[in-house]
Amino acid sequence: MPDNQKDTDVRFMKAALRKAREAGRKNEVPIGAVVVKEGAVIASGRNQKEEKRDALLHAEISAIRKACKKLGAWRLEGCTLYVTMEPCPMCAGAIINARISRVVFGCYDPKAGAYGSKIDLHDYTFNHYYEVEGGVMEKECASLLSDFFSGLREEKKKLKNKTDDQ
């Protein structure tokens, strides 16, 4: 990969990380996504499953929906999706159906990742070819998630101790 592509990927992954932090501040699992076309962010999304009580509101789905609306089309050819964690099978299906040209993700998801961790949907032939690049800013993306879950465990522990004291 050319150095300028690496720099571009880091720049847009930082934008996805900002969306992930926003999700974390809303007590959502901190995953963020941005859709980029011709060097500009055209849409962004973050997890909103808890906030909106909607199982489909993953960061990728939100960003894809907004990008389709902005472009007035369901085909997102020529677009790159940057997401802080490896997409799950549902999101990978949306990526395929939206005809996104390239997917760049941060950390791997050993529990539900659809691009190599649990299954690799990129290995299957679909209606178009797209590129997948994983591990971009992997440490930063993974750290954000582990810090979030560590904080949740700590809160749960405090709550249990408080209950036990009463």
Q: Over the Cα atoms of the chain, what is R_g?
A: 17
Angstrom distance (rounded) from CA 70 to CA 88: 24
Angstrom distance (rounded) from CA 97 to CA 106: 22
Q: Got the DSSP string for 93-136?
A: HHHHHTT-SEEEEEE--TTT-TBTTS-BGGGS--SS--EEE--T
Tokens in use for 88?
């799950």
Active-site annotation holder among 22, 28, 50, 60: 60
Q: What angle do CA 136, 140, 141 make, to 5 degrees?
A: 70
The CA distances from residue 150 to 25, 86, 146, 156, 163, in Å, are 14, 20, 6, 10, 20
Angstrom distance (rounded) from CA 116 to CA 71: 30
138 is known as an active-site residue? no
Catalytic (active-site) positions: 60
